[in-house]
Structure 1
Amino acid sequence: MSRVHDMGGRFGDGPVVPEPEGEVFHAEWHKRALAVTLASGSLGQWNIDISRHARESLAPMDYTAFTYYEKWMAGLAELLVARGVLTEADLAGGTDADPHPLADRKLTAEAVPEVLARGGPADRDSDTAPVFKPGDRVVTRRLAQNTLVAGGHTRLPRYAAGARGEILRYHGTHVLPDSNAHDLGEAPEPLYAVVFPASELWAQPEHPNDEVVLDLWQSYLAPA
């Protein structure tokens, strides 16, 4: 069964319309949605993969009906309650006058530039050696699913499952989202840029000679 958020290459959704140059946010509240999400993440109660999985786990009817930042807000609300940061009563406006236990971790306006500049690097040292090198032919897992957690998060898109490609570049070892999204540890492993011909990904590509480059973890791949 396909996952509701896994829409890449799906037929019938129409063309991709580029945003007007220089336009980032379509509404003023979108800026606040981004700010609240980043500020909440700074509390240290989850990681980026957990937050992605929270958005992916929204009810299918909600996911398809919500706009981009509505998905962000819905996923954040679920996380805040699931991780015990807030209660449903808090979200409904029943705030407590006492200081929150995580108040000392709040992201202040003065700290934002430094935090954003620092980012969240995902490269890690690891004893797991790369088994592929640039030029090697590989094939992805036949099913785009998490092999550790049923229905869990993975960065292998459905349209690339079972596809044959070529290693373009080795990125080093990086946090494995399939593990990190479920509190199973970072489990870093080799990450590669893999190039696929469009004709390998879709039965009737509009431009068969086009290529798609995906960053894929070693456990997603096998020798072709």
Structure 2
Amino acid sequence: MTRIHDMGGRFGDGSVVPEAEDAPVFAEDWHGRALAVTLAAGFLGQWNIDISRHAREKLSPKDYARFSYYEKWISGLADLLVDKGVLTLEDLRGVDRDGDHPLAERTLKAEAVADALAKGGPADRPSSVEVRFETGQAVRTLGQSANRLVEGGHTRLPAYASGAKGRILRLHGTHVLPDSNAHELGEAPEPLYAVAFSTSELWANPEHPSDEVVLDLWQSYLEPA
């Protein structure tokens, strides 16, 4: 069953209103702190980016629908910290801990932030998986947007693109498969493609039928059309 977070391309949620060019990066001060603490906690090495994304997806539908963007981030982080044993509920409630935390030595220091962010977290990996598709080839996405490894698990194939016909624009190389990595089943790298879809293929009555949507999709999401 598709989780509530998979909202892309859905009708009835109103227009997307771009922010003004001179709008601040963060609408409220705590938004920046939420982003900072989420990134800093990731450097503790207790989870990967796909596990982090899945934690936000697993928020209860009621909370996901009512939370703002950074409320989703900080709530997903709180769940991760407890699930992975980094903190306890008592820690989150502000109960003092005796002594240093076991992960204290992994703390991301202020002077190391710029280099750490510049390095990023590349997801390209060598792989022995055979490349099945070539540029210009017609392909179709799987009929259901679902993780084939874990029931109800993380996937990067959006529901609105399931069962749609497109064409390969380019091969990005081989990259970590989120469907596996989010569940600690290994990185399982496989070919990643840019795939172009006509809007009329994705939606019944698109406003601009001649437009295209380009999605980056893993090979296991695709089959020959």
TM-score (norm 2): 0.98
Is 1:194 matched with 2:159? Answer: no
Q: Partner of 1:109 in structure 2? A: 110
Q: How does 1:121-136 map to 2 (within 5 A)?
A: 121-136=122-137
Amino acid at match of 1:19: E
CA distance in 1, matches of 2:22, 2:176: 32
Whole-angstrom distance in 1 between the partners of 2:3 and 2:89 = 27
Distance 2:84 2:208 in 1: 45
Encode CA deviations 1:179-220: one digit per residue, 9 max, x unaligned.
Answer: 000000000000000000000000111111110000000000
Q: In structure 1, how many angstroms separate the alpha carbons of the residues matched to 2:169 and 2:15?
A: 28
Q: Deviations over 1:69-110 (max 9, x none)?
A: 000000000000000000000000012031000000000100
Indicate the residue corresponding to 2:71 in structure 1.
Answer: 70
Name the residue aligned to 2:48. Answer: 47
**Secondary structure of 2:166's aligned partner:** strand
Q: Equivalent residue for 1:152?
A: 153
1:89-104 alignment, distance < 5 Å: 89-104=90-105
Would you say 1:35 and 2:36 are equivalent positions? yes
Which deviates further from its counterpart, 52-61 or 95-104?
A: 95-104
- Structure 1 residue identity aligned to 2:83: A
* Secondary structure of the structure 1 residue equivalent to 2:174: strand
Residue 19 of structure 1, CA deviation:
1.7
Whole-Å separation in 1 of the counterparts to 2:33 and 2:50: 21
How far did 1:21 drift?
1.5
Query: How far off its partner does 1:3 sit?
Result: 1.5
For residue 59 of structure 1, what is the aligned residue in structure 2? 60
One-letter identity of the residue aligned with 2:14: G
Residue 16 of structure 2 aligns with which residue?
A: 16
What is the TM-score of this pair, normalised by structure 1? 0.99
Q: Using the alignment, how far apart are the partners of 2:74 and 2:197 within structure 1?
A: 34
Q: Which amino acid counterpart does residue 66 of structure 1 have in structure 2? A: F
Amino acid at match of 2:132: V
Question: Does structure 1 conserve the Cα–Cα contact (< 8 Å) formed by 2:2 and 2:146?
Answer: no
CA RMSD of aligned residues (A): 0.7
Q: Which residue of 2 aligns with 1:176?
A: 177
> Any stretches of 5+ residues in structure 1 without a counterpart?
none
Question: For this pair of structures, how many residues does the alignment match?
Answer: 224
Residue in structure 2 matched with residue 79 of structure 1 by the alignment: 80
**Deviation per CA, 1:39-90, whole angstroms, max 9, x where unpaired?**
0000000000000000000000000000000000000000000000000000
Task: Kindly report structure 1 stretches of 4+ aligned residues shifted beyond 4 Å.
Answer: none
The C-alpha deviation readout for 1:157-193, integer Å capped at 9, x for no partner, is 0000000000001000000000000000000000000
Cα shift at 1:22: 4.4
Q: Residue 217 of structure 2 corresponds to which residue in structure 1?
A: 216
Paired with 2:2 and 2:97, the residues of 1 have a C-alpha distance of 42
